[in-house]
Amino acid sequence: MTNTRKLLIALGAAIAFPMVTGLAKAAEPKIKVLASPQDPTKEAVLIGRTISAGLTFQLELEGAEAMWMPMGTPAQWREHAPARNERYHIEFKVTDNATKTRLPYATITFAATNQENGKTVETTLAPMWGSSGLHYSENSALAGDGVYAATVTVGVPTFAREMKDKDLWSKPASARFHFRLKDGMLVEVSEPVPAAN
């Protein structure tokens, strides 16, 4: 068998079986039409909750807010106010289902494409402490009204593990979410799965 043929077979397997690439393809979310439009700038709205790789992913959208951000030493920290066009605050919580502990020290990426205008918003969500405990968040303008297909990816956490837990969270995990903005109001979200017990 030639090297080219071996390479083509390997590429075909990677495309056919996403687990081979190290990141399983996230399931498509079911759509939930809201009974009435909800204004995320007035109150946090649950975009969706799903379970992947033993983790609960919960995505919310609320009004943009100022954050106390590190800028060097603690004496140099400062308030980071939302930019003029940043209307929304993307908030993401990731919880280990076995221990009911929020997962720290992970790089969390958020990408959402407005399927009506083709614009994509991509950002890394910063770790943050607030009234809901440890979460990851960022202010954003998003990309206008429309239907969004969003993906949140949790990178491999950078903390040490006991030997018996060395394989926990050893690969990135992701989840897909759906939401629709109309006149700045949420009218559709992802149908949330029940919270893990």
pLDDT of residue 25: 59
Read off the CATH number of the domain in which 89 is found.
Answer: 2.60.40.2480
CB 179 within 8 A of CB 150: yes
Say if 3 falls within a structural domain: no
Whole-angstrom distance, CA of residue 46 vs CA of residue 44:
7
CB 151 within 8 A of CB 3: no
Structurally, the chain folds into a number of domains equal to 1
- Joined together, the tokens standing for residue 82 give 């939302």
Segments forming the whole domain that contains residue 62? 24-190
Say if 57 falls within a structural domain: yes
- For strands 67-69 and 101-102, give the pairing: unpaired
CB 88 within 8 A of CB 184: no
- What is the pTM assigned to this prediction? 0.84
Whole-angstrom distance, CA of residue 182 vs CA of residue 159:
41
pLDDT of residue 158: 93
pLDDT of residue 72: 78
Q: What is the pLDDT along the chain (197 residues), one digit of tens a residue?
A: 444 444 434 434 333 333 333 445 568 899 999 999 999 999 999 999 999 889 999 999 999 999 988 887 777 888 889 999 999 999 999 999 999 999 999 999 999 999 999 999 999 999 999 988 999 999 999 999 999 999 999 999 999 999 999 998 899 999 999 999 999 999 999 999 988 77
Say if 196 falls within a structural domain: no
Say if 38 falls within a structural domain: yes
Say if 160 falls within a structural domain: yes
Say if 143 falls within a structural domain: yes
Say if 15 falls within a structural domain: no
pLDDT of residue 70: 81
Closest CA to 92 of 51, 52, 46: 46
Say if 147 falls within a structural domain: yes
DSSP string, the chain: --HHHHHHHHHHHHHH-GGGGTSPPPPPPPEEEEEEEE-TTTS-EEEEEEEETTEEEEEEEEE---EEE--SSGGG-EEEPPPTT--EEEEEEEEETTTTEE--S--EEEEEEETTT--EEEEEEEEEEETTEEEEEEEE-BTBSEEEEEEEEEPPP-S---GGGTTTT-S-EEEEEEEEEETTEEEEEEPPPPPP-
